[in-house]
Structure formats: structure tokens, C-alpha cells
Amino acid sequence: MISVEIFTNTDEMITGYCVKGHSGTAKRGQDIVCAGVSALAQSALLGIMEHLHRTVDYDIASGNLKMRLLEPPDDCTEAILRSMYMGLAEIEKLSPKGIQIHEVKG
């Protein structure tokens, strides 16, 4: 199962996320849940870094992606990260055995 943590601040703006694991719902290379989650998480990271030029701390390894903003979130980072969150939530609705999302406040 893929575990996703969405980190939010006291204003409920997203400050980062952590994606761990594999969905295990299909053979390696044919797992649409894993591919969708990976595409959303990596696209959000690229959008924040390459389009918005924000400073982030991130780590990518097989089956894991962790990202934290090093600057306070703003409307632009929120738009990208909230869009990622909404896409992940739709995948979770379709495949609750493949992905679980948890919001971590603080």
C-alpha cells in the first residue's frame, strides 16, 4: 500500500508531503495506481522547483518521495500542492486498498 502524508501549517496550507511504498495492486511496471501517484507527486515537486523557483528540501528513492518547502507556503505553492492532493484523493477513492492519505497538521 502507498502511504501519503500531507503536511499542513496552522493556516491549513500545505507545507510538504511524503509518499512511501507501492500499491501492490498490479505487476511491477503495470500498476496504474502507483504510476498515477508517482506522476502527481513528481509533477508537484517539479512545478514548485522549476516553475515557481521555490527552495525545497526533498529526497527521492525507489518507492519514496519526500518534499518540504523551506519557505512559507503562498498562493502559488498552495495551488500546485492542493491540486496534487485532490488528484491523490481521487485515486484513493478508486483504489482504497492501494493508497491511504493522512493529513499531518502542525
* Numbers of helices and strands, H then E, in the chain: 2, 5
Say what the pLDDT of residue 15 is.
98
DSSP state letter for 48: I
Length of the chain: 106
pLDDT tens figures, 14-73: 999 999 998 766 666 668 999 999 999 999 999 999 999 999 999 998 889 999 999 999
pLDDT tens figures, 75-102: 999 999 999 999 999 999 999 999 999 9
> For residues 77 and 31, what is the distance between their CA atoms, to the nearest angstrom?
29
pLDDT above 80 (res 3): yes
Say what the pLDDT of residue 31 is.
83
User: The whole model's pTM is what?
Assistant: 0.92
> For residues 47 and 5, what is the distance between their CA atoms, to the nearest angstrom?
19
Helix (H, G, I), strand (E, B) or coil at 3: strand
